[in-house]
Structure 1
Amino acid sequence: MNLPAAAPAAHLLQVAVSTPAHSALGDLLSYACDRPLPPGTLVRVPLGRREVLGVVWDAPAEPPPLPAGMAPRAVAGVLEGMAPLDAAWRRLVAFAARYYQRALGELALAALPPQLRELTPEQLARRMRRTSPAFPPLPQAGEGGGEGCKNGHNAQSPAHPCPLPQGGEGVVGSISLSAEQASAAAQIDTNPGPFLLFGSTGSGKTEVYLHSVQQALAASPAAQALVMVPEINLTPQLEARFRERFAPLYGDAAVVSLHSGMTNPQRLKSWLAAHAGAARIVLGTRMAIFASLPGLRLIVVDEEHDASYKQQEGARYSARDLALWRARDQGAKVILGSATPSLESWHASDPAVGRYQRLEMPSRIGAGALPRLRLIDMGQQPRGAIFAPPLLAAITERVERGEQCLVLLNRRGFAPVLHCHACGWKSDCPHCSAHQVFHKIDRTLRCHHCGFAQRVPRACPSCGNPDIAPVGRGTEQLEEQLAQLLRNVITPERRAARVARIDADTTKAKGALEEQLAQVHAGDVDVLVGTQMVAKGHDFRRITLVAAVQPDGALFSSDFRAPERLFALLMQAAGRAGRDARYVAAQESHPEMWLQTWHPDHALYAALRHHDYPAFAAQQLAERAGAGMPPFAHQALVRADARSQETAQAFLQAAAEAARTAALPGLEQVFIFPPVPLAVQRVAGVERAQMLLESPQRGALQRFLAAWQPLLHAERARHKGLVRWLVDVDPQGI
C-alpha cells in the first residue's frame, strides 16, 4: 500500500491511534487533511509503515508544536457514511484511559469492533449501503452541520436513523409485579439513583430490569438502554426474554447483543445498529460498556459483584465502575443488581454513606422457599470419600422422584495433577510454575495458564514407575464417579439416571453450551456437574438440590477478596435450587444446598446457613476497615514481566525509588509495598512480579500514578530483560 507523504497546506487534525505499547508517544498524533473533520470521525492514517484506523479527537487549546523541519503526514482516507462518535463516547474513553493509566488511542481503538478497525473507507461504504440507514455526509470545508436530533443526527436526512417504535409506546401484555418488585420499580422510576437492587436469588430482579427498560424507552423515541451480564453464557436466555418483551414494540432488530463470542461481522452489525440508534437495547458483557449509544438513558449491571466485569488483559478497566461514571456523565440511570453485592457497592449503599440507593427484594417469586443449607463434616465421613453417604442418598432420592440436582466443583479436568509416589514426580508445566491438569477423556496433560498440552506418559518420566496416579479432583472425575454411583438408579420415566457435565471443556464448540442447557431444561439430564459457569444466572426450573463438593480452599487464600467470592458463588449456586415454587410444591419437597466441608463451624458457613448476606458483609467490612483495605482504601498494582524474577523485581524496586527521589505529587499519601512474586510467578516462560500501592485517598493515588508514568517508561529502558509492565488500578486479585 502506498502511504501518503506530507500533505500540502491543509487542516491540522489531532487523531487518536493505537500506538505501540510503552512507546511513550503522546495521546494524540497530528495529521493533515484537505478539509476540517468533526471530532469523532473515523479516518485511516499512516503510522510508521502501516496504515491504521484513527479517531479524530477534540483539538487541545494549544496543539503541540511539530518538531522543526517535520511536516504532518496526510490522512489516507475518511470513513464516510457513518456518524461521528459523539462527545459523550469520547469523554468516556478519555476518562477510562486517564483513570486506568492507559494510552488514549489504545483504549479508543480497542473499544471499536475488530472488523471496523480493518475496513477501508470503500469497504465501510459498501457495508453501510447494504445494512445501515443513511447518514448525512460529513461537512466539507466551510460548511456547518444541520439541526440535530437528540441522537446528534441531521434531522433533515431523508432516512432519519432513529425510527419511531412500532406499535406505540404501550405495555405489551399485562405483567403482574409482586409487591417487592413494584416497590423497587417505582423507586427506580421516580428517583435518580444510582440504585443497588439487592434481591435474593429467584426474587425476580430481571422483571424489574425489563420494567425499567420499558419505562426508559417509552420516555423518548431516541432513548436506548444497555444491559450487561458478566459472562457470555448468560446472554442467550436474557436476549430471549428481552426479545419476547420488546420485539412487538420496537421490532426484532431493536434488541442486539455485543460480546466476544460473536463473529466479527456480527459484532460490527450490532455495534453499528447501536451507534445509529436503530438498536434500542444492547445486551452484552463488559466490552459493551464502550458501545456507542447516543441515546443512552439506562444502564443495568446484572450480577454486579462478579469479577468478570474487570478486564484482565490490556487496559484493566472495570465495566461496572465505568457504568456508574458513564450514567452520571450522560444523565442516565444505572441499576446494579445482585443477591450478593460487592462489598464496595454494599458499603456505598449504606444509608450512612448514601452514594447509592439500596432497594431490597428478599422474597422469592411465588412464595418459593430459599434452600436449606446442609453442612457435612468431612472429618466424620469415610476416608477418601468423594461424596459423603448422606449426600449420595439425597441425590439418589431426588433423581428417583424425577427432580434434578446440580453438583458444583470450580475445577475442570479429571484431576489437578498426576503424581508418582515412588520418586515424587508431579505433572508440572515446563513453562509455568503450575501443574498440568490431567484430562482423562482425551488422555492429555494441559496447563490452564499457558495452554501447553501433551499426552499422558505411560510411566513416570523421572523414574520409570508405571504406577502414576491422579491427585485431587476435577469435574471430569465427579461426572465419572457419579455416573458409576447412580448406575442402578431409575427415574420415574423408568430409565437410568443421566449425568452430564458443563464446563469450559465441554462448551468449546459453537452452540455446545446452548445445546447442553436445552437438555437440562428439557429434563434429559438428572444430575448436572459443573463449574461456576452454571452456578449463576441460569433459571433451572426442576433443580431442587445443589451440592458444593470442595469449597474450603478459598477460606484460607492469601487474597483478601477470596471469602467474598466464595460466599457469592455458594449463594448463587444455592439459588439454582427450588426456583419454580409450583414445581417444588407439586413434588412435596424442599430445596436444599449440601456443602461438604472440613470446617463446618466457619463463620462464613454460619452466615450462609441463614442466607444472611448483610451479616456476612458487616463482618467482612469490619475486618477491612480495621486493616485499611478497600473500600476504606484505594489500591493499584504495578506488575512486571521479565526473563528472570530478579529483573522483574529490580525494575519495580527502581521505579519505587525513582518515585521517592522525585517526590511525586500525592506520594505522602501513598504507601508503596515491596515487590513480590505473583502466586503463579512463571507463565509461558516469563517471570512475574508485582508491587502494591495503597492510599486512603483515591485522588492522591491518581495524581501519583499519572506523575509516575514518565519514570516508569524511563526505568523500562534501563532494564533490558524486562518484557512488559502494566498498572492495574483497583485490582480484583492480589
Structure 2
Amino acid sequence: MPVLRVALDLPLHRLFDYVDADASTADVGYRVRVPFGRGERIGIIVEVGETSDWPLDQLKPALAVLRDLPPLPPAFFRLCDFASTYYQAPLGEVLLQALPGGLKRVAPPERRAGRKTKPPKFHPPPALTAEQHAAVEAVHPENGFAVHLLHGVTGSGKTEVYLHLIARQLAAGRQTLLLVPEINLTPQLEARVRARFPETEVVSLHSELAEAARERHWRAAFEGAARIVLGTRLAVFSPMPDLGLIILDEEHDPSFKQQDGMRYSARDVAVVRAHQAAVPVLLGSATPSLESWANAQSGRYRLQTLYQRANPAATLPTVRLLDTRKLPLQEGVSSHLVAAIQARLERGEQSLVFLNRRGYAPVLACAACGWISRCKRCAANMVLHLADRRLRCHHCGFEHRVPHACPTCGNQDIHPYGRGTQRLEAWVQQQFPEARVLRVDRDAVKSRKQWEAVLERIHGGEADILVGTQMLAKGHDFPKLTLVGVLGADSALFAADWRAPERLFAQLMQVAGRAGRAELKGEVIIQTQYPDHPLFSALVQHDYPGFAQGQLAERESAGFPPYAFQAMLRAEAPEMAEAIEFLKTAAALPVIGEHPDVLIYDPVPMRMARLANLERGQLLAESAARPALQAFLPAWREALEGIKTSSRLRWHLEVDPLEF
C-alpha cells in the first residue's frame, strides 16, 4: 500500500503518514485533503513510499489528492527546504505559508474570474544616463547567478534600471520577480511597470489583496501567464516556471524581515533562490544594509553605483543642520524652518515636515502625582490621539477613552507631553492658515485606496505642506517638493539598539531625497542638539560610503554582525521569572558543550519586556562562523523541544535577528 508523507501547517518538526491505494511518486507536489484529529486539513505530499515508521494498519487513508493545479515544482521544494533548515522552521509551515489562503482551505470558496481592465497607455522609456546604462549592462542573465548591489543616490533612476532589465527578460521569454518592502510602495511602482509594459501580464502579491485576487495572481505566476510579479516579502516563495531575474528595491528595509511565524529575511531568501535557479539578483538602495555593503566591499557582491540624479536639471538637496540648543522652538519647530516653509508657500512649492511619531502626543501625564498613561498590557506608554479622544498603545493595540481627570489623584489638569504628527499638523495649520496642510501617517492612511488618493492630491498640487512619518520617506517622487524639515531625529542617536544609527541614517537619507527631484532646487533642514555627530556630518555630504565604513569598523571591533552570526531564543510567559527560568535551562543544556565555537550569553529581559500581557526574555547564541552556528541550531532546537514547560509559556528561535 503506497504511503504518502504529508507536510501540514503545524508548529511541529515532523511529517505525517497516510495511505492511498492509488498514489504514485508522480503525486509528489500535489495538495491533499487528509483527516487530522476530529477534522480535516490540507497538506502537501512531499514523498510517496512503501514503508512507514508506524504500522500500516494504523495509518488513516488520505481523503483526496487535489489535482486542480499542477504539482508544486522541485525548485519550490528546494527553496522551502532551505528556509526550513536555515530558519529552524517546520517544513509544513514553510510550504503552506507560501500558498494563498484559498488553496489551504478544506472547503475553498467559489473561484471567480477577475475583471479585465483596460491596458494603460504606453509610456516610452527615457534615455538612460551613462551610469544607468553601465548598471544595466553589468547584469548578464546568461552568465548565471550573481548578486549585484545597485547603490544609487535618491533620484538617480534605480527604477529605470529595473525596467530596462525587465524588458530584456521579457525579450528572452523569462519572468521577473520584483520585490518591494511595503504595500504603500506598490501602487506607484505597479503603475510605472504596467505603463511600460501594457501588453504584458503583471500581477501583484501582497497582504492587502482580497483572497480571491491573491489566488488568481499566484496562479498566474505559478502557471507562467504573469511575466512580471510585483510583491512584498512573501512573494519571494511564489513558484515561477521561467524565472530569469530577481530584483529587490530598498533592499535595506527592515520590512523584508518577517517578525512572526517563520522569521525569515526575504532578501537573503531571494539570494538563495537566485543561486538555486542560476539567475542574477539585483539589490537596489540609496542606503544599502551594512551586511550587503560589506559583501560588496569584499567582492562577494558586484557593486554598481549611480552617483548622479537621473534628471540632468536635478541636483542633490542641500542639507543644513540647525543647533536647537541655541534656538527657541515653538511646538518643536524653529523660526528658521518656519521662514523656509513660508518662502516655499510664496513660490508655490511644497514642503514636508517629517516627524516619525504618530498621534497627538507620546504620553499624557499628571504633574501633581506623576501619573502617566502607561499601557496596562505592555511596558510602553499609551499615545494620545486627540482627534478621536483615545489613548492607544501602538504595540498591542489596546485603547480607551481619554480620562477627564487623573485616574490616581483626580487632578483635572493633565497635560500631553511631547508631540506627534497630529499635534504638529494642528500647529502648522494654525501657523499657516492659508496653506493646505496634509497629514500622512498610518492613522490618516489605512488602506491602499486611501494611499492612492493621497498620492493623487500631492501630485495634483492640492497640498502645500505635508506633515508625515516614514510613509513618505522612500520611493516617492514629488516634483514640486523642495523643502524637507526633520524634527525629533536625536532620540535614535543613543538608542540601546546597535542597529539604530544605521536605520536613522537610512531614514534621513531617504526622506532628504524627497526634496528637489526635478528642476527645482531642494533643501533639507535637520533640527538637532548634536550637529557635530559623525552621522550628521556624513548626511550633510551625502556620504553613505563614509558612514558605512565607520559603522563597519565599529561593528568589527565589537564583534557584531556582519562579523558574527547570531540566533536568538525568545520566551514569553505571564511572569518574567518563568520565561527566564526556561532560558536558563536552555543555556545549560548538555548539547551546548558539544559546540565550543558557539557562545551562549546570559538570559535577559527584552527591551520591550512586556507585550500584550506577556513577559518576554531572550537568550543570544553567537558564533564567528555561520556553518558552526547552523550545525548547532538543529541539535539545540531538538533539545529545547524536550524541555517540559507549562502551557502558558511559548518560545521560538530567530536566526539573524534584527530586533533585540
Q: Normalised by the size of structure 1, how large is the TM-score?
A: 0.86
- Given residue 531 of structure 2, which amino acid in structure 1 is its aligned partner? P
Match of 1:241 among 188, 192, 215: 192
Match of 1:230 among 181, 185, 208: 181
2: CA distance, partners of 1:668 / 1:681 = 30
Cα deviation code 1:331-381 (max 9, x no counterpart): 12100000000000000011xx21110000010012211011110111011
Match of 1:355 among 285, 293, 300: 300
Q: Normalised by the size of structure 2, how large is the TM-score?
A: 0.96
Q: Secondary structure at the match of 1:511?
A: helix
Cα deviation code 1:143-171 (max 9, x no counterpart): xxxxxxxxxxxxxxxxxxxxxxx9xxxx9
Question: How far apart are residue 34 of structure 1 and its match?
Answer: 2.2
Note if contact 1:648-1:722 (Cα within 8 Å) is conserved in structure 2. Answer: no
**Residue matched to 1:49:** 38
Cα deviation code 1:304-329 (max 9, x no counterpart): 00000000111000000000000010
Question: How far apart are residue 32 of structure 1 and its match?
Answer: 2.9
- Given residue 621 of structure 1, which amino acid in structure 2 is its aligned partner? L
2: CA distance, partners of 1:362 / 1:294 = 36
Note if contact 2:440-2:469 (Cα within 8 Å) is conserved in structure 1. Answer: yes
Q: Secondary structure at the match of 2:567?
A: strand
Question: How far apart are residue 417 of structure 1 and its match?
Answer: 0.5
Q: Structure 1 residues 611 and 453 mapped into 2: Cα distance closer, same or farther (>3 Å)? A: same
Match of 1:622 among 519, 529, 553: 553
- Given residue 299 of structure 1, which amino acid in structure 2 is its aligned partner? I
Instruction: Tell me if 1:455 matches 2:455.
Output: no
**Residue matched to 2:79:** 92
Q: Structure 1 residues 608 and 33 mapped into 2: Cα distance closer, same or farther (>3 Å)? A: farther
**Residue matched to 2:60:** 73
**Residue matched to 1:519:** 457
Question: How far apart are residue 713 of structure 1 and its match?
Answer: 1.1
Note if contact 2:32-2:43 (Cα within 8 Å) is conserved in structure 1. Answer: yes
Note if contact 2:575-2:615 (Cα within 8 Å) is conserved in structure 1. Answer: yes
2: CA distance, partners of 1:421 / 1:721 = 42
Q: Pairwise mapping of residues 173-188 of structure 1 onto structure 2 (< 5 A)?
A: 173=124, 175-188=126-139
What is the root-mean-square deviation in Å for CA atoms of aligned residues?
1.9
Note if contact 1:224-1:280 (Cα within 8 Å) is conserved in structure 2. Answer: yes
Note if contact 1:643-1:721 (Cα within 8 Å) is conserved in structure 2. Answer: no
- Given residue 536 of structure 2, which amino acid in structure 1 is its aligned partner? Y
**Residue matched to 2:374:** 428
**Residue matched to 1:38:** 27
Note if contact 2:592-2:636 (Cα within 8 Å) is conserved in structure 1. Answer: no
Q: Secondary structure at the match of 1:365?
A: coil
- Given residue 440 of structure 1, which amino acid in structure 2 is its aligned partner? L
Cα deviation code 1:212-248 (max 9, x no counterpart): 111112112xx21100000000000111011111123
Q: Structure 1 residues 263 and 372 mapped into 2: Cα distance closer, same or farther (>3 Å)? A: same
2: CA distance, partners of 1:445 / 1:127 = 42
Instruction: Tell me if 1:320 matches 2:267.
Output: yes
Q: Secondary structure at the match of 2:609?
A: strand
Q: Structure 1 residues 663 and 569 mapped into 2: Cα distance closer, same or farther (>3 Å)? A: closer
Q: Structure 1 residues 28 and 364 mapped into 2: Cα distance closer, same or farther (>3 Å)? A: farther
Match of 1:198 among 128, 151, 166: 151
2: CA distance, partners of 1:636 / 1:662 = 16
Cα deviation code 1:522-577 (max 9, x no counterpart): 11001111111110011111110111100011111111110000000000001111
Cα deviation code 1:471-492 (max 9, x no counterpart): 11111111111111111xxxxx
Question: How far apart are residue 58 of structure 1 and its match?
Answer: 3.6
Q: Secondary structure at the match of 2:20?
A: strand
Instruction: Tell me if 1:407 matches 2:353.
Output: yes
1: CA distance, partners of 2:159 / 2:379 = 42
Instruction: Tell me if 1:110 matches 2:61.
Output: no
- Given residue 172 of structure 2, which amino acid in structure 1 is its aligned partner? A
Q: Secondary structure at the match of 2:236?
A: helix
Cα deviation code 1:176-204 (max 9, x no counterpart): 11111001101113755210000010000
Cα deviation code 1:642-661 (max 9, x no counterpart): 11100101101101101xx2
**Residue matched to 1:160:** none
Note if contact 2:479-2:518 (Cα within 8 Å) is conserved in structure 1. Answer: yes
Q: Pairwise mapping of residues 259-298 of structure 1 onto structure 2 (< 5 A)?
A: 259-298=206-245
Structure 1: which 5+ residue stretches go unaligned?
Answer: 1-9, 133-165, 488-495, 585-589
- Given residue 651 of structure 1, which amino acid in structure 2 is its aligned partner? F
Note if contact 2:567-2:654 (Cα within 8 Å) is conserved in structure 1. Answer: yes
Q: State the number of aligned residues.
A: 651
1: CA distance, partners of 2:56 / 2:244 = 49
Note if contact 1:546-1:577 (Cα within 8 Å) is conserved in structure 2. Answer: yes
- Given residue 579 of structure 2, which amino acid in structure 1 is its aligned partner? A
Question: How far apart are residue 116 of structure 1 and its match?
Answer: 1.5
Match of 1:606 among 533, 537, 540: 537
Note if contact 2:218-2:238 (Cα within 8 Å) is conserved in structure 1. Answer: yes
Note if contact 1:13-1:33 (Cα within 8 Å) is conserved in structure 2. Answer: no
2: CA distance, partners of 1:49 / 1:111 = 25
Instruction: Tell me if 1:307 matches 2:307.
Output: no
1: CA distance, partners of 2:268 / 2:278 = 16
Q: Secondary structure at the match of 1:631?
A: coil
Note if contact 1:289-1:323 (Cα within 8 Å) is conserved in structure 2. Answer: yes
